[in-house]
Structure formats: C-alpha cells, structure tokens
Amino acid sequence: MLVLGAGASIGGLRYPIHSHMHHELMEMPGMRQFFYQLMSRRRKGRRDFLNFLGLTHEKLEQVIRTAWGFGNRSTPDVWKHINVEEVFTWLDVGEHMWAKRTIAHRNFEGSKRALVDLIWHLLALRTEGQHCERLLLLFHSLRPKDSVVSFNWDPVADHTLEFVGKDQYTNYMQLMTDPKVPASQYLKRGVLLKLHGSINWVICKSRSCRAGRRPYVVRKPDGLLMDHQMGLYKCPVCGGSKIRPYIVPPASNKAISDDRFLRSLWMLALNKLYDVGHLVFVGYSLPVTDSHAEWLFRHVHLHPIRRPTITVADPEIMDPNSALSIRFRSVFRGLKLRRYASLEDLASDSHAISPRRSGRRFRTAKSVEARYTHFR
C-alpha cells in the first residue's frame, strides 16, 4: 500500500507546463507554511510577495490575524509558522461548537467556507491536468492488487494513475459511482482511496437532492471553479446550484464518522491494510491532529501473522531524533523501517515498493472485525 501526503506533491516533478506564469506558480504549498508560500512566487531566482489571501478573502485573513495574535502586521514572515491544518481545524471545531443560526456559528461557517474556496482555487490553478513523473515511476511498480491511499486534496496522483493507465484509477472511478461501496468487491482489486476528499469532488447541499449527500468526481475542477463562481454549474442530479467542493480537515472527527460514504472509504482502507506486506509513506508525517489516520495504521499490530515492512520517504526521516522519526517509531514500534530522503530517491530505486509476500491473507471484510476479539 502506497500512502501519499503533502510531500508527495511538494516533491513532485509535474508536467505539462503551459506558460511562464504557470511555471512561476508550480511550487506547491506545504501545510506548515501554506499561507506564506501562497503569498510568494519565484521569479528570476528571487521571491516576490503578494498578499493574495487579503486580496481575495479579506474577512478570512482578518479572522486568522486576530485569532493567531499578530494584529495588523503585514510582513510575510508573520505567516511562516501558520499551519493551514491548524486553521482549518480551529474553524471546523468552532463551527460545530456553536449552536446553528447563532452569529458565531455563521461566522465560523463562513470563514471555513472561504478557506475551502481558497484551497479549491489555489490547487485547481496549480495542478489541473498535471501528472508527476516521479510518482509515475512508483506507480509503474504497482501490482494489480496494490492500493494507493492519498491524504492530499490535490488531484496529481489521480492524473498520474490515469496517465500511466493503471487499474487503480479505473477501480477508483468505479468506486466513486458505486452506490453502496461494497468492501468485498474491492479487497482483491487495487484502488485509489482519497480519505480526506479532493478538490475535484463536489457535493450538492440541497436537502431535496436524490444524490443523498454523496460526492462525485468532476473531470476539470478549474472549469468547475469558474462556472461555480458565475452560478452556471448545476447539480447533475437535482439541477440545483448548491454545489460545494468536498474536502475534509484532518481533525474533523464528526465529518468522517457521520458521513456514510467517507466512512466506507476508511473502512475499505482498513480491510485492505490486513493484506499488506509493505507500507510505503511518501511525504506524510502522521500528524497528531489526524486521529483517524493513527487509528487506521495502528491496526497493523492487530494482525496475528503478517508483519509489514514500513518505508518512509521524507527528508526529516533521515534524522533518527526528528519528530517525524519518533512519530513513526511510536506508531510502528517493532516493525522494520526503511528510509529515503526524498520522493526522487524513492522513485529512483526500482525495488523500493516491491511488495513482500508472507503470511496468511484475510479475504473478507468480516476478518477485520474478528481482530477485535481481545476487546470483548
């Protein structure tokens, strides 16, 4: 199983480049310096800064300035240490803490919606139609039963799987239109699972829509963005205009647990984890805010026979005393850990993700529930 985090997109080698301006916007913002990198672009070996957040979402910028305690200071450096996941999580918690129809609830809801629109616009602009040459090399090594788990909102991995013609993409598109998402039909088939949603997923918020709050994939999110802003895009099911992008903040326990479709994706990932001999993490830090991810991956210890190898590609993993190394040793205690300094190094090793064959295989979804016998 290949697990992708933000570093897989940041360390990617993306094509095609359509224009000089597109080249200047190629840098993907990381979670830790999302707003700082959003405001900058590389031009002729130097960085220019433009307060894009203040120009497009002034009220959201003021909320962040106030809550993070730096007032009206406008230097780019003050944004360096503002993590977009922390902002997203803070807004998400605030939305659910206040009672509906209160002013506070509407303010948090509006700010969160503005942040989703910002992420949607930015990632669509920088990634639409692009594939990653380094991920392409990794995907070539995938066997038909291997799966890809992505915690990224951008569609680079989707486009790359489609570009290389892998079954994982075909199965992903089928899964996204499957009315029930039966785990038993996908256990023996490799599939892409986007566990935090995607900018090319949209959902209709109309209460009368027969789609039943089920997200569906849009082929061109950049075109959708323009149509949505002009009020032209309509829900293909009910014809309404209450269309929203579908991305989930990592700490939103309620969004994952209460959403039937999203929960089914997580449970499918859990079922597939029991048949994994090799877990490969690319640019994913297992953040403590993502309690669902920790819940998922700690299940490798509940398998009675299979002991998967853990491979991590991230610059920070090379330091055994780094927070990332400590985190992985904590979650995967006792398992063999292989380290690569970057996605480039991992992609250049032709045997990096060759899965190991060992142990007994669990073939049905019921086997996962059976692993909880010691809780009874």
Report pTM. Answer: 0.86
pLDDT tens string, the chain, 376 residues long: the values are: 999 998 898 888 888 766 655 565 667 777 778 888 877 766 666 667 778 788 888 999 999 999 998 877 667 888 888 888 889 889 988 988 999 989 999 999 999 989 988 888 888 878 878 899 999 999 998 999 999 999 999 999 999 999 999 999 999 999 988 877 777 788 889 999 999 999 888 888 887 887 667 888 887 665 565 555 545 667 777 877 788 888 887 666 667 777 888 888 999 999 999 888 899 999 998 988 788 999 999 999 887 667 899 999 999 999 999 999 999 999 999 999 999 999 999 988 867 776 444 433 433 344 445 544 444 3
Q: Which among 269, 288, 267 is positioned nearest to 279, based on CA atoms?
A: 269
Nearest to 312 by CA among 286, 287, 339: 339
The helix (run of H) or strand (run of E) holding residue 55 is helix 52-56
Tokens 């991305």 belong to which residue?
Answer: 247
CA-nearest of 164, 172, 200 to 268 is 172
Helix%, strand%, coil% for the chain, nearest 5: 45, 15, 40
67 in Cβ contact with 90 (< 8 Å): yes
Going by their DSSP bridges, the two strands 278-282 and 2-4 should be labelled as parallel
One-letter amino acid at 297 equals F
Residue 196's CB is within 10 A of a number of other CB atoms, namely: 21
Amino acid identity, position 229: Q
Alpha-carbon distance of 34 to 14, in angstroms, equals 19
All domains of the chain, ordered by start, with CATH? 18-42+49-127 (no CATH), 131-196+256-375 (3.40.50), 202-241 (no CATH)
Contact 260, 268 (CB under 8 A): no
